[in-house]
Amino acid sequence: MGESNDICRDSPARVILAAPLRVPLLKFALVLVIHTIIDEVFTMNQILLSDFGTPMERVERALSALRDGRGVMVLDDENRENEGDMIFAAEKMTVEQMALTIRHGSGIVCLCITEARRQQLDLPMMVSNNTSHYGTAFTVTIEAAEGVTTGVSAQDRLTTVRAAIADGAKPSDLHRPGHVFPLRARPGGVLARRGHTEATIDLVSLAGFRPAGVLCELTNDDGTMARAPQVMAFARQHGMPVVTIEDLVAYRQAHEPQEQAC
């Protein structure tokens, strides 16, 4: 009987029947490992972020930096794009800052504008049917009609930005296509869409500037996207505050009802 039980326990039929049960268990174990890693990364990032202040302090420091003419690093959610963008108030940006943006960024220098500015400049959307994962609202690319050469240099791109945000800017002030990528922000800012475009418009507006800002995704030296630890290291190196879109959402929710009540 003992031998018979051993044979039954180890028989091919028993192994085959048990195999399907192992697959869900392996998947479950893998999910647990992944969630554990995500939780550990989130905790580490929160510890690193705390060096830049509390959420409210981070927003205030970002606004102060923009008013001083400095740049700000903006992080979005880890389960979204999980990237850090350099942002600058368009009307305060310098050639040196544009060069820094081009040198350390993805090369896609974006000008965040409102729908009203898009209509003022008569900029059609890049596509009529936007199928990008996060609905990134690119218009056609632009170049200043005057004062530029190839349009690629830091000076040329800044000239294009200034032409587009000028008070009396008109469609004929810009050529299409070009080397600057306008992004139309959604009305309502980060309360309507938690994107870098909306965060840029919200921050520069809260800092007291016209609603137009320049952004570019930060990349590592090897060309990969910079994630939270690399973004914060870059910010320390270049004296930039770091703020998250979640910080900005909380800041607006905390402050705007009080302002409306007044």
Q: pLDDT tens string for the chain (262 positions)?
A: 454 455 455 555 555 545 555 667 666 666 555 545 444 445 667 788 989 999 999 999 999 999 999 999 999 876 656 789 999 999 999 999 999 999 999 999 999 999 999 999 999 999 999 999 889 999 999 999 999 999 999 999 999 999 999 999 999 999 999 999 999 999 999 999 999 999 999 999 999 999 999 999 999 999 999 999 999 999 999 999 999 999 999 999 999 875 444 4
Q: What's the fold here for domain 53-253?
A: DHBP synthase (3.90.870)
Question: What pairing do the DSSP bridges indicate for beta strands 110-113 and 213-217?
Answer: antiparallel
pLDDT in the model for residue 45: 76
Q: Is 133 annotated as a binding residue?
A: no
Q: Is 118 annotated as a binding residue?
A: no
Q: Is 217 annotated as a binding residue?
A: no
Element (H, E) at 183: strand 174-184
Q: Is 246 annotated as a binding residue?
A: no
pLDDT in the model for residue 37: 44
Q: Is 3 annotated as a binding residue?
A: no
pLDDT in the model for residue 149: 98
* Alpha-carbon 84 to chain mean position: 5
- Residue ranges of the domains in the chain? 53-253
Q: Is 193 annotated as a binding residue?
A: yes
Using alpha carbons, list the distances in angstroms from residue 167 to 173, 216, 222. 12, 24, 40
Q: Is the pTM of this model over 0.85?
A: no
Q: Is 196 annotated as a binding residue?
A: yes
pLDDT in the model for residue 262: 43
Contact call for residues 174 and 144 (beta carbons, < 8 A)? yes
CA distance 190 to 217: 18
pLDDT in the model for residue 248: 98
